Amino acid sequence: MEHAIHVLATLLLLVGLHGMLTRRHLMRKLMAMNLLQVAVIVFFIALAAKSGAQPPITAVGDAAPRAHDYVNPLPHALMLTAIVVGVATNGVALALLIRIHRRYGTLDEPDVILGMRE
Amino acid sequence: MKFRFGSPVLDTAVRLLTPFILLFAAYVVAHGHYSPGGGFQGGVILAAALILVNLVHGRDVRWGLRPSTSLSIAAAGLALYVGIGFLAIAFGGTFLDYGALPLGLPPPQVRAVGTFGIEVGVGMAVMGVMVLLFDALMAWEQSR
Amino acid sequence: MIAPLDVFFLLLVLVSGIAALAARDLLAGVIAFSAFSLFAAMLFASLGALDVAFTEAAVGAAITTVLFVTVIFRTERTAAPTARRAGRLPAAAAGVACVVAGAALLKGVTGLPAVGDPDSPSSRHVSPRYIERGPAETGAPNMVTGVLADYRGYDTLGETVVIFTGGLACLLILGRTRPPAERR
């Protein structure tokens, strides 16, 4: 099937979405957010792929490249940015998790909400 | 809780591996024009080497980075990036127009030199931030 | 046509992602997450995205895993629920929302051009120019580096600033790192 990668990337996105909505532990929610991010990145890379093309790196003495022979490099650059920004997001989220645990003693979301109401 | 392992196997392995990891990180940054790699990947590998040493030897390792030092390195990397942009303005081009730098080389080579400077700046920034994140998350435990 | 190897890697990614969310022990979940990241890097490499695979392997399987394990040993290791205070309704509502969103997304996805189509709209306009004149204009045979640092240099500057801000925010959230006794 020609849309197999798209369909499976959508499934991965739904797994991440469901995980963020239903898991009680805050770190599980964070991992599900990472699943969401990787699903979106897979989708972009699949958009950039061309059948029968090689990765977007030429050798030094090559002739002028033709557009059909090389994979589209623009989504690759965008996704590089997305991955590295995702690490910064993870770092801030983990710092928040540590503070929440220090303040309320637990990382279980209903318990944290109960602690916030007191 | 002590997180210094001190096992001789780990110690020896880290001593053997770390120089090669650092060299590989420098190679990845410098060779980013010709092979997969560049600033981000090299910076992350550099940070991984420092985190490895920090994990095995604890926080008082003699050549580790304190949080203030890694913050300074990150800021210096960002300043390098923006500095190259303003340098292009100083020589008559627009912001981040590497072609305006007066290096006396054919235009693609001038752009390649500007790009390399940018990649070094990005590598420093990424390395500083990753080591900073690890230090901050670890150090909170020790201050209890 | 895209090889079945890509679909195989994507199935591995799905399975390890579900395992990371379903593991009872958080540490086992984080190790499954690291495997998930590595399989994703293999998938990117097999789809021709070598720089992205390199970054995903270095960042996801190394740095993110170490950060997660640090926080686990800092907070708690298992996710045992204390009491069933959350009722059945939120889980059912989440399920319905996911099914509706999934149906809409799948309907839209089947209308996309086929994977690997060289004439898809995303491969026209600017991208052929980057490929054909990129190595000659930027002096970098690696086209992704040329696009990232030369043609799209502003975006990379913005991203570096975002990373720096993230590190600053983490420091500010956690406060000073000296022990309280020394603070005078």
B57 or B132: whose pLDDT is higher? Answer: B132
Which residues have a Cβ under 8 Å from the Cβ of C41 and sit 6 or more positions away?
Answer: C53, C54, C56, C57, C60, C61
Which residues have a Cβ under 8 Å from the Cβ of B88 and sit 6 or more positions away?
Answer: B94, B95, B96, B97, B98, B100, B101, B114
Q: Exposed, middle or buried, C116 (CB in 10 Å: 0-12/13-18/19+)?
A: buried
Q: Which segments of B31-65 does DSSP mark as H helices, in order?
A: 39-57
- Where chain A has pLDDT below 70, the residues are none
Q: B38-47, B50-59, C70-79 — which one is most confidently predicted on average?
A: B38-47
Beta strands in chain B (DSSP E): none
C59 touches chain B (CB under 8 A): yes
Number of domains making up chain A? 1
> What's the pLDDT band for C133 if we cut at 50, 70, 90?
confident
**Considering the domain boundaries, does residue A8 fall inside one?**
yes
B88-111: buried (b, 16+ CB within 10 Å) or exposed (e) per residue? beeeeeeebbbbbbeeeeeebebb
Residues of chain C in contact with residue A76, where contact means CB-CB under 8 angstroms, are: 49, 51-52, 144, 147
B35 touches chain A (CB under 8 A): yes
**Considering the domain boundaries, does residue A60 fall inside one?**
no
Which residues have a Cβ under 8 Å from the Cβ of C12 and sit 6 or more positions away?
Answer: C39, C42
How close, in Å, is residue A1 to chain B by CA atoms?
31
C135: pLDDT strictly greater than 70: yes
A66-99 pLDDT, tens digit per residue, is: 878 888 899 999 999 999 999 999 999 999 999 9
Three-state SS string over C115-182 comes to CECCCCHHHCCHHHHHHHHHHHHHCCCEHHHHHHHHHCHHHHHHHHHHHHHHHHHHHHHHCCCCCHHH
The pTM is what?
0.90
Residue A25, SS3 per DSSP: strand
Least CA distance to A1: which residue of chain C? C114
- What whole-number distance in Å separates Cα of residue B138 and Cα of residue C71? 8
CATH number (domain holding residue A37):
1.10.287.3510
Task: Look at residues B4, B43, B6 and name the one whose alpha carbon lies nearest to residue B24.
Answer: B43
Residue A30 structural domain: 4-55+65-117
> What's the pLDDT band for C52 if we cut at 50, 70, 90?
very high
Q: Which of A62-71, B4-13, C77-86, C105-114 has the lowest mean pLDDT?
A: C77-86
C157 touches chain B (CB under 8 A): yes
pLDDT at A2: 78
